[in-house]
Amino acid sequence: MSEFWHDAGCSFHPVSAPDYLPIDQLRALQLHRLQVITKRAYDNVELYRKSMDDRGVKPEDIKGLEDIQKLPFTTKADLRDNYPFGLFASPMNEVVRVHASSGTTGKPTVVAYTHEDIDVWSSVMVRSFAACDLGAGDIIQNAYGYGLFTGGLGAHYGAEALGATVIPISGGNTDRQIMIMQDFQVTAICCTPSYFLHLIERAGEKGVDIRKLPIRAGVFGAEPWTEAMRQRIEPLADIKAYDIYGLSEIVGPGVANECREQAGPHLFEDHFYPEIIDPETCRALPDGEEGELVITTLSKKAMPLLRYRTRDITTLLPDPCACGRTIRRMKRVSRRSDDMFIIRGVNVFPSQVETALLEVEGTLPHYQIVLTRVRDLDQIEVQVEVTPEVFSDTVGAMEDVRKKLGLAIEHTIGIRVKLTLVQPHTIQRSEGKAKRVIDNRKM
Ligand code: DLL
């Protein structure tokens, strides 16, 4: 790989070439890989052999991409039921790495990689960074957690393969992050958007203005965040905030990433075949319609997954992107089908509350939703920090914000919520994924 692809007159990083494949070539490549991976899964993973036999489907039945619908879905429960190594398709002596994601209940889900899998992962991370206009010469502060979580090592290998300088600082220790960011002249950071907000805030307290530092890009993901949140983050740090999407079951970070148009992440669909289904009926939906994202890993050796139900709600965007990439984009994932909560019969997603409250001036992007049950009646309280000016101003300013917020939220979700305006720093900050909803109803 040349580090000097700009100088050679190439308009994109060589590793990004598949981003620009003519559609017919892309589809042919996907079909070929789907046939190979279906056979690999059938031959090596008992779960798939059984479920395909039950459906009367053989790998040879995959003759076109639409035949993917003949294949069974895979769910997180399948991973849990086959804990820890039951879905591996490679012998252990070819598995060079495992990662695990902490489940909300009981055992984690385990994922595996061969050397080739790690190479593919690095390549999609290179494509992710390149899409954010990062390259050799950039100094990337990698504040995703290193360890069983895929964020740290995934971004690390990708940034090295890109030819950038990686600072493997991992998550946490915010004061040190700020010192390193200044002293090492960092140009890009990788972390969750909520952690970056915390970092900006802490820097402000220490008298450091991140806008004056060389940092120009943030590669933010691992948790849902809204467009309204991007609008808050970018001017605070004078950077471009890019959305990176991924999940451990499929590879980790690098399943999809935004380009400079910032108009929804491009899916690296030569490796991860996307479908959108209706989560209730499991019926496939066309591009442009919203539903649950289902992904088939087209090249994973150690742990191929067929039609994995991500639970993430999005839309595949049919329109071509101005950047010229041919791989499809998806709308940013702002919600999961399982983070929805039902309050007095109304379905609510935390992202709806986030969008509504960030519309109102005087609020800070730190909030939490607390659900309780009082005498069989569900109560919803939104706690949100307001600026010191609002907080220390007359009662009038607080009342004004409260009124606007109440209306904005009621307008978005259709019900009235209890609002608690709190002073800055009241809501707990996270070093990784933020916890937005505290559900105290489950007793
Ligand atoms: O969060 C992998 C990752 C690391 C992605 C670093 C991006 C950056 P898991 O811990 O398995 O893996 O969590 C995956 O997080 O199904 C989504 O619900 C959510 N998620 C990840 N990225 C985004 C994003 C990593 N950009 C789960 N927007 C996924 C919204 C995201 N949700």
Q: To test ligand 1's pocket by mutation, which of 76, 109, 149, 245 has the most ligand atoms within 8 angstroms of CB?
A: 245
In degrees and rounded to multiples of 5, residue 286 shows phi and psi of: -75, 165
Confidence grade of residue 343 (pLDDT, cut at 50, 70, 90): confident
Per-residue pLDDT of 94-149, as tens digits, reads 999 999 987 656 788 999 999 999 999 999 999 999 999 999 999 999 999 999 99
Q: Distance, CA 332 to ligand 1 centroid (Å)?
A: 11
Stretch 20-36: mean pLDDT: 98
**430 compared with 118, residue with greater pLDDT:** 118
Confidence band, pLDDT 50/70/90 cuts, at residue 338: confident
438 CA distance to ligand 1 middle (Å): 20
Q: Measured on CA atoms in the order 126, 129, 134, 138, is the torsion positive or negative? A: negative
Q: Give the model's confidence band at 273: pLDDT under 50 very low, under 70 low, under 90 confident, else very high.
A: very high
pLDDT at 1 over 60: no
**Which residue's alpha carbon is at the smallest distance from atom 13 of ligand 1?**
247
> Which residues does ligand 1 sit against, CB inside 6 Å?
101, 144, 150-151, 221-224, 243-248, 252-253, 310, 312, 332-333, 336
Each residue's pLDDT tens digit, 397-425: 899 999 999 999 999 998 899 999 999 99
Evaluate if residue 443 carries a pLDDT over 70: no
Quote the ligand 1 centre to 433 CA distance (angstroms): 9
Residues 128, 222: contact at Cβ < 8 Å?
Answer: no
In ligand 1, the atom with minimum distance to the C-alpha of 255 is: 5
In this prediction, residues 5-14 reach a mean pLDDT of 76
User: What would the 3-class secondary structure string for 44-95 be?
Assistant: HCHHHHHHHHHHCCCHHHCCCHHHHHHCCCECHHHHHHCCCCCCCCCCHHHC
Average pLDDT, the chain: 94
What pLDDT is attached to residue 304? 98
- Is residue 77 exposed (0-12), middle (13-18) or buried (19+ Cβ within 10 Å)? exposed
Do the strands 139-142 and 165-167 form a parallel or antiparallel pair, or are they unpaired? parallel
The tally of CA atoms less than 13 A away on the side-chain side of residue 193 is: 27
Evaluate if residue 329 carries a pLDDT over 60. Answer: yes
User: If you take atom 14 of ligand 1, which residue's CA is the nearest one?
Assistant: 247
Atom of ligand 1 nearest to the CA of 311: 16
- Residue 337: exposed, middle, or buried by beta-carbon count in 10 A (0-12, 13-18, 19+)? middle
Helix ranges restricted to H, 171-327: 174-183, 193-205, 227-237
**Nearest atom (ligand 1) to Cα of 333:** 30
CA angle 12, 14, 19 (to 5 degrees): 65
What are the pLDDT digits (tens) for 32-83? 999 999 999 999 999 999 999 999 999 999 999 999 999 999 999 999 999 9
The ligand 1 atom nearest the CA atom of 244: 26
At 301 the pLDDT is 98
